[in-house]
Structure 1
Amino acid sequence: MELRQLAHFLAVVEERHFTRAARRVHLTQSSLSASIRALERELDSELFVRSTRNVEVTEAGRALLPHARQALAAAEAGRDAVAGVHGLLRGQLAIGMIQTFGLIPLPALLTRYHRLHPGVTLRLRHGSAGSLVTAVAQGELELAFVDHPLGHHSDRVTVLSLGREALVLAVAAGDSLAARRQQRLAGLADRDFVEYRPDSALRATIDAACREAGLERRIRCEADTVGDLVELVAQGFGVALLPPLALSPAGERVVGIATDPPIRREIAVVSAADRPPTPAAAALLDLLP
């Protein structure tokens, strides 16, 4: 079993299509198919069920998948470690990030990282905190910037807290509440709310705080992206509870008001508990304040 065969196997798993996978690994389709067949013969198991429309992974393929990822990650980490001895970081760094991450301006942090380590290619993935934590635990991501609660696989990651922040009540600039410095949560029962996706940790934090305050929100719209949510507030569709940094793209069209009681959330960066960070990941962690 060779690393290149495992890379070919992983490409087919992720693309679910031999032609797309072949393009991804820069092979002809016939060469990729031959590589997969050789791997199947060596393992004496079919790894894929092929059809005219797509490719499905067999039970044997699913069993091989985490080990293939680990082997390829270990090989990449070895190459990066050797390069690090010579003072040069290289390779890829896969990072997860929730859309509503606050406190730390991550685009600025990643730009600084790129200037220091131009040989590292960054891959960013957005998702819910729970899905990103799972991806880190399973080796699909090196690091993830998330908020609490972390979800079902929190026991499989190492958590570095980056601090806590208070959410704000976001209202349109022309709203009657915009001139206030603070707003009681219990006094918002007659307001229309726009909300972020129900599977997010942010939503779980907001739901819990509103229950504690006795506020039953009148939710009129849910959005999958924070940008859409902020724009809905700017247009006067409703109000929302959001991290302060999320309001920045709207400029003066949206005002953030402190809430009483405050709604605080903890944000963190997580890495896998069963393996040390790669040199590329460690270099990014070193830049955190």
Structure 2
Amino acid sequence: MTLAQLRAFLAAYELGSFTAAAKKLETSQASVSELISRLEHELEHSLFIRGGRQLIPTTAAVELQVHALQSVTSFDNGVEALKAMSSLEGGVCTFGVLRYGAHYDLADLVQRFHRRYPKVKVHLVGLNSVTVAESVASGEIEAGLIVLPVAEAGLQVRPLFRDEVFYVSATRNPSRGPITIEELAESKLVLYDAFAGWRDPTRRQILERARLKGLKIEPAIEVEHVDTALGLVAAGAADTFVPQAIVSGPGFPRNIHAVPFAEPLYDTIALVQREGAYLSPATRKMAQMAARTLLSKVAPGQDIRRATVK
């Protein structure tokens, strides 16, 4: 069975004659007739009742048509995808990044992408990892970078690296050493990502540790943005916890001290897409650029899987 046979069959099925099918396929009527005869011989089923001016599809033809159309369409889509991949002369890229992606050098990701592929439309969202995961799972966006763990099922997850999380404070003396979950439960905290709340992946890890000890973590203040939280920490109003990327960033307040957790805590950064979903060439390229940007900045010990994003 060949694609040429399936195309001839579909054209004849749609148009009702070998002559019309031949005209559509820009070939001869005899060629279309021969292709369909070979297909019938291979299938051991007649596909059309010949005679008169109109071809009449048999029951076998009706059954085959749906599957033949899927096969031909799938192949054509693959060819178009390969063409678009090499040129990226159009299309739309939908991608999600961490809310504080700028701390991972992702601030200029769109600018770099648009400079290379100016004809591609870009829809980039920067949200909490929970919301990014939900948007990918629902098909609202094609792929994104998130912090694990997330509860969304149906996602294909590719861990990239892990980033240690630190307790930060302007008032706690760092000479006291790492912070325990018991001390954290007694601390006055300002937590960011208020909308996501305890669904936030980093918070979920903290909450689970506290539950195992029979403790509660209750923030005194909740805000949406990490920079707002750090401003309050710098003012001595409360303490919080942030990943290494923020601690080592140029904008981190100088009067804030960072200490690790007694039981080290890590954010795992991952690339996600819907399970079994096909990524458009534009979004695939954006995912590759984002992953390479992240992996180029991390220390060897942080890297979980330095694999090429496919």
What TM-score results when the alignment is normalised by the length of structure 2? 0.58
Ranges in structure 2 where 5+ consecutive residues have no aligned partner: 1-73, 296-310
Q: Map residues 1-289 of structure 1 onto 2, 5 A cutoff.
A: 81=81, 84=84, 87-100=87-100, 104-151=104-151, 153-154=152-153, 156-172=154-170, 175-178=171-174, 182-196=178-192, 197=194, 198=197, 199-212=199-212, 216-247=216-247, 248=249, 249-287=251-289, 288=291, 289=295
- C-alpha distance in structure 2 between counterparts of 1:127 and 1:137, whole Å: 14
Change (3 A) 1:178 1:270: same
- C-alpha distance in structure 1 between counterparts of 2:226 and 2:106, whole Å: 16
- C-alpha distance in structure 2 between counterparts of 1:178 and 1:162, whole Å: 30
Q: In 2, are the aligned partners of 1:147 and 1:266 still within 8 Å (CA)?
A: yes
CA displacement at 1:220 relative to structure 2: 0.8
Change (3 A) 1:119 1:206: farther
1:143-199 deviation line (CA, Å, top 9, x unaligned):
121112222x32x22111112221001112xx2424566333433454211113213
Q: In 1, are the aligned partners of 2:230 and 2:253 still within 8 Å (CA)?
A: no
- C-alpha distance in structure 2 between counterparts of 1:278 and 1:268, whole Å: 19
Query: Could you say which residue in structure 2 is the equivalent of 1:20?
Result: none
Change (3 A) 1:85 1:283: closer
Ranges in structure 1 where 5+ consecutive residues have no aligned partner: 1-73
- C-alpha distance in structure 1 between counterparts of 2:173 and 2:213, whole Å: 19
Higher strand share: 1
Query: Could you say which residue in structure 1 is the equivalent of 2:25?
Result: none
What TM-score results when the alignment is normalised by the length of structure 1? 0.62
Q: In 2, are the aligned partners of 1:234 and 1:250 still within 8 Å (CA)?
A: no
State the SS of the aligned residue for 2:220: strand
Amino acid at match of 1:225: H
Greater radius of gyration (CA): 2
RMSD: 3.1
Change (3 A) 1:261 1:84: same
Percent identity, please.
22
Change (3 A) 1:242 1:80: farther
More moved, 182-191 vs 133-142:
182-191
Amino acid at match of 2:205: T
- C-alpha distance in structure 1 between counterparts of 2:180 and 2:85, whole Å: 56
